Chain A
Amino acid sequence: MVKPPFSLRRFSSGVSPGRMAKPLIRAERFVRGLCKAVLLTGLCFVMLYPLLFILCSSFKSLEDIYNPAVVWIPQEFSLQAMAVAFRVLDYPQALLKTLVILVPGVLLQLITALLAGYGFARFRFPCRGLLFGLLIFTIIVPVQTYIIPLFVNMQQFNFFGIGSLIGLFTGSPLTLNLIDTPAVFYLLAAFGMGIRSGLCIFIIRQFFRNMPVELEEAAMIDGCGSFKTFLRVMVPNTLPLIATVLVFSIVWYYNDYYLSAIFFRTEFPLSVSLTTMSQLLGTYSQGLQGMGGMTGQELGLMKEPVLACGCLLIVVPLVLVYVFLQRYFTEGVERSGIVG
């Protein structure tokens, strides 16, 4: 345990609780509790406000929009907007696309991050400081600064130079166009450069550093190799950490729009579809035939509820994941000690 690095005696105010009368203490405690409750309720409202807003405006019907008396809760619930949003987003297909990217991406990223985090936490090797600096660098530098060469490299992916090497002998270098395939995401994730992989590695390293060394030492003495120690001893002890990193990664992959917008050309995952939704709605509302039983003009008026529905449709799967993993997540985060 850490010693307090200073003396506290000088600062003691000398008011001990024993001197106060008992009802006074009780009153003070009550007032404090009340203040805290009010503050927390207010803050919780702020945190939930956008969700409440989405929920309220999603189910408004066309009549409710004309009706000035309807501000929050719609008078008649309707699924009109939902139907349109469902079609504009191309929801099942986009969700599938998201999952195709997300599930393998997150798992590959987790494996690489666990390995690298453990490597940085427990091994001394030459240039460790330098490499760790590089890791911090990858966290700080946004992908936007080097996306163009990355895009070109992925368009003519040469298997880390092996393809070009083959090209020296056969005449034409062996390259593969990975654009528009989820393989781009798998590759980046498997080699620790996925969406915020650096941050995951950093979190995992901090966690491993705080774990007692005795477990590993015992395993080593019993003749367990480094990799086996990692797999059999360390990983089973880090389940809360894994839950934490998993939730973070799922959220980051699910919400990513930038990489998906760049690496895909035809079918887009949900987050990208949402960014183009407003534009699409504009086009549809100018068209004559309309959509989902509404004319183009009505569609233009319904823009706000439809967009809200789009947001809702996107948020719902994440909220479900969050509700299921929340307990592990919050406990895992709090226990993992992600401290500088």
Chain B
Amino acid sequence: MKSRIRPAASGQKAARRSLFGSRIQRRRAIHGLLFILPWLIGVIFFFLVPMVQSAAYAFCKVTLTAQGDQFRPVGFSNFLYLFTQDPNFITNLSSSVLNVLYQVPVIVIFSLLSAMLLRRPFPGRTLVRAIFFFPVIIASGVVITILKEQVMMNAAVSGEQEAYMFAAPSFSYFVEQLHFPQSLADLVERVINGFFDILWKSGVQIILLLAAVNHIGASAYEAADIEGASAWEKLWKITFPMIAPTVLVVLIYSIIDSFTDYGNRIMRMISEYFSLGQYEYSATLGLVYFVIVLLLVGLVNVLAGRRVQYAVE
């Protein structure tokens, strides 16, 4: 690695200095770039290039022939079809957005609660912790979906929208008896039935929050104890502000996770169109879906990020 700066015209030198700084800094910069080089190559060739190509596909009609792929530009017709004619897109999209809206808060609250429970030592903590992390190894795979939809068969009745591991139909009946509107009863049923599935999805989140909670220094709590703060006050005034950055990470992770889940119906649509050979439509769907997800994540990041204060930069 050549690290010496050749004597150069002053303007050039100034430009170089502003870019890299001193000689050591320059060498560090080059080393840093070398460290990320493999990733950088991968990101360009296996991420950026395909992304751009995928965006281009969405505006074409793709036909695969023996001579190679043929692209005929068709403008926005794929998008038009998606939004105005596709019978499933809007319903599937709204259902997955709705799912995320009620699932994510429950996931975050539950994983916070679990992190609090698992935080202090108690007899059998190692075992309990291992059990709590256990869903991590299964929930990310197809096993859980197969289990829910094909083995447990709670949703075997045709027309049923979602598959649940536990079902509690009596609860929504109860809500109906109280003369609440039907839509509320449906929502309650959805939340109650999906609750255990949601618990199953929070393995990674529990790990992240547990790590964050364990990283809060004991001195803040000691000071609070001396001042006579109650446990409730300590939770809201110390624990919560200190783990707020992680809560944000958990929030965003949960949103992305449920949007890209195997069971998510838009994801299934994308793969189905792909396996049917309708590549351009699959690409359009993927592009639109991804932009929507990105917008939602950005919105959450802006809304929640404003409330998060970083203790250490």
Contacts and interface: CB of A to CB of B under 8 A. Distances in A.
A255 B141 contact: yes
Interface in B193-246: 196, 199-200, 207-208, 210-212, 214-215, 217, 219-220, 223-224, 227-230, 233, 237-238, 241-243, 245-246
B279 interface: yes
A89 interface: no
Contacts of A131: 36, 40
Nearest to B293: A140
B57 interface: yes
A266 interface: no
A141 interface: yes
Contacts of A193: 42-43, 46-47
A147 B215 CA distance: 39
Given A147-B274, A148-B274, A148-B283, A8 B39 contact: no
A257 B43 CA distance: 22
B132 A44 contact: yes
A282 to B, nearest CB: 11
B39 A192 contact: yes
A200 B98 CA distance: 29
A119 B237 contact: no
A329 B133 contact: yes
A278 B249 contact: no
B223 A226 contact: no
Candidate in A123, A187, A252, A307 with the most chain B CB atoms within 10 angstroms: A123
Interface SS of B by simple majority:
helix
A257 B147 contact: no
A144 B224 contact: no
16 contacts: A43-B114, A47-B200, A112-B39, A116-B35, A126-B20, A128-B32, A131-B36, A134-B43, A146-B53, A193-B46, A197-B39, A251-B137, A311-B146, A337-B211, A339-B215, A340-B245
A278 B28 contact: no
A191 interface: yes
Contacts of A169: none
Contact of B129 (A142, A188, A277, A330): A330
Contacts of A140: 256, 293-294, 297
A99 interface: no
Interface string A7-27: 011011111100000000000
Interface in A215-258: 226-227, 230, 251-252, 254-258
Contacts of A123: 28-29, 31-33, 35
A46 B199 contact: yes
A252 B140 contact: yes
User: In terms of DSSP, what is the predominant structure of the interface of chain A?
Assistant: helix
B262 interface: yes
A171 interface: no
Contacts of A258: 262, 271
A121 B20 CA distance: 17
A314 B143 contact: yes
Contacts of B230: 13, 15
A252 B249 CA distance: 19
A36 B38 contact: no
A289 interface: no
Nearest to B219: A1
Interface stretch (B82-90, B177-185, B284-292): B284-292
Contact of A124 (B32, B126, B138, B214): B32
B51 interface: yes
Interface string A310-321: 110011001100
Contacts of B100: none
